[in-house]
Each structure stands twice: as C-alpha cells, then as structure tokens.
Structure 1
Amino acid sequence: MRDIALLAGRFLLVVLFVVSGLGKWSNLAGTAETIAAKGFPAPFAFAILAAAAEVLGALAIILGVLPRLAAVGLAAYALVTAFVFHAFWGMPDPGAAEMQSIHFLKNLGLAGGFLVLAGAGAGCFALIRNERP
C-alpha cells in the first residue's frame, strides 16, 4: 500500500507542473514577458529554463528517475517562484493581493510536498532511485 500511495502521490504532486510547463513551452514569448517584468536578464532563456525545469522535473518525479534529487530541485523552484512571482505583500489592489497570496501559499504547499517526497523516497515504483533500499 505504501508504494502505491507514493506512486499516486508523485503523479498528483506534479500534475500542476506538467500543465504549467507545457503552457510555458507553448507561449515562451508570454513567459519571457512575465520574467522580464520582474527585471531578470535574458528573459527568453529563463523562460526556456523554467519550462524545461517544470516538465523535466515532473517527468523525473513521475518516472522515478533520481526522485529525491528532482524533488529537492522542484521544492527549490517552487520556493523561488513563490517569493519572486507571487509576492503579494504590499500590493495595492486587494483582489490581486489575495490571488497572489493563494498562489504563494500553493507554492509553499508544493515545496512541502516535494520535501516530504525527498525524505520518504519514491518507493519501489521508480526507475533510477537515488536512495538506500
């Protein structure tokens, strides 16, 4: 039961990253605009990097390819994007602040889930486990 729960949890944890990453790939220009608005240099390169991180990280989690490493990487990604792109504090529009606070808290929850996965491991349904048996 533990291994089945870990497999199902891995799928559910990364659904958002698959959808979001594919959305970024299909609109790299729009993603680059969002990144540029935050003052990042080379926004198109960062857009490609963000899309690749989301899709490849999610696939690594689903397939169980170095799942602990992928989980730590996606936890860090979720935390960085929470603080950089969903900084709700100090926003003048209460509606926009509320929406960004929801996204911020969602990212914190995802980071927590990824850290739990990193601690627990992927279970037996993994292709390349980076954990002790």
Structure 2
Amino acid sequence: MDVVLLIGRVLFVALFLGSTVGHLTQTDSMAGYAASKGVPMAKPATIVSGVLMLLGALSVLLGVWGDLGALLLFLFLVPTAFLMHGFWRETDPTAKQMEMVQFNKDVALAGAALAFFWVFSQDPGLTLTGPLFSMG
C-alpha cells in the first residue's frame, strides 16, 4: 500500500508543481490577474504563494516533513479559494460557473491536504523523514 500512497502523492502535487512554475516565471501576469481579483499586494502575494506551493509540494512528494508540506498547501488553498474564486461576486452566469468550479476544486484540494496531513502524522512509509508534528 505504500506504493499506492506514493502514487497518490505524486498525482496530488503535480498540480501544485505546475502552478509554481507559472507563479515564479510569469509573476507579473499572474500578479496582474490577482490584482484584478482584488488581492492586496498582488506581486508579493504571487511570489509568496508560488514559494508556498513549491515547498509544500516538494515536502509532500519527497516525504520530508510531509505533514508540514500538507499544511502549507492547505494554507495556500483556503485563502486562494475565497480571494481568487469568489463566484458570489460574479454577475455573468458563465463566469459565475467557472469561478464556482475553481472554488470547489480549491476547497476539495484543501480537504485532501488535510487528509495528507493526517496520513503523514501516522507512519505512511516511503518518506525521507518522520512527521514534524506529533499527533499522539
């Protein structure tokens, strides 16, 4: 089952690693989009969120304090859902639907990040370190 969990970790972090590239290589355009959504200090927020995703994703992928990595991803996802995908602010039905899908995706991924947090607090196997936080 350790291999199944490892495959799940790889699939889970693939999205974040891809997004990290955009945040850190196309910072100005990503920050412009964030600013259009009302995110304060959009450029620093874009850089910080890119670093947060990178550290969290690598931590979960490699199993280096995977519990901390899962929490970092959770801390990225929840504010992103509310700041970037406020479907309740949209008046155009198509835009509202698109933002609702993105909001729900972020909330679901936040739930998965919390599940990974719990998994890493146990003995997940195939990790480079044990958990940083003790749950017992």
| TM-score relative to the length of structure 2 | 0.88
Q: What is residue 6 of structure 1 aligned with on the other side? A: 5
The 1-side partners of 2:89 and 2:54 are apart by: 32
SS at match of 1:34: helix
The 1-side partners of 2:128 and 2:26 are apart by: 31
The 2-side partners of 1:44 and 1:19 are apart by: 19
- What is the percent sequence identity of the aligned residues? 32
- Retained in 1: the 8 A contact 2:30–2:46? yes
Kindly provide the amino acid, as one letter, of the partner of residue 40 in structure 2.
F
Kindly provide the amino acid, as one letter, of the partner of residue 82 in structure 1.
A
SS at match of 1:89: helix
Map 1:1-133 → 2, pairs under 5 A: 1=1, 3-37=2-36, 38-41=38-41, 43-121=42-120, 123-130=124-131
- Retained in 1: the 8 A contact 2:85–2:103? yes
- Retained in 1: the 8 A contact 2:56–2:71? no
The 1-side partners of 2:131 and 2:88 are apart by: 38
Q: How far 1:39 sits from its partner (Å)? A: 4.2
- Retained in 2: the 8 A contact 1:88–1:98? yes
- Retained in 1: the 8 A contact 2:58–2:69? no
The alignment yields a C-alpha RMSD, in angstroms, of: 1.5
What residue ranges of structure 1 are gaps of 5+ in the alignment? Answer: none
What residue ranges of structure 2 are gaps of 5+ in the alignment? Answer: none
Runs (4+) of structure 1 exceeding 4 A deviation are none
Kindly provide the amino acid, as one letter, of the partner of residue 130 in structure 2.
R
Deviations 1:59-110 (A, max 9, x none): 1110011101110121121111001100101311100110010000000110
Q: Looking at both structures, which has the greater relative contact order when contacts are Cα pairs under 8 Å and sequence separation is at least 6? A: 1
Q: How far 1:44 sits from its partner (Å)? A: 2.0
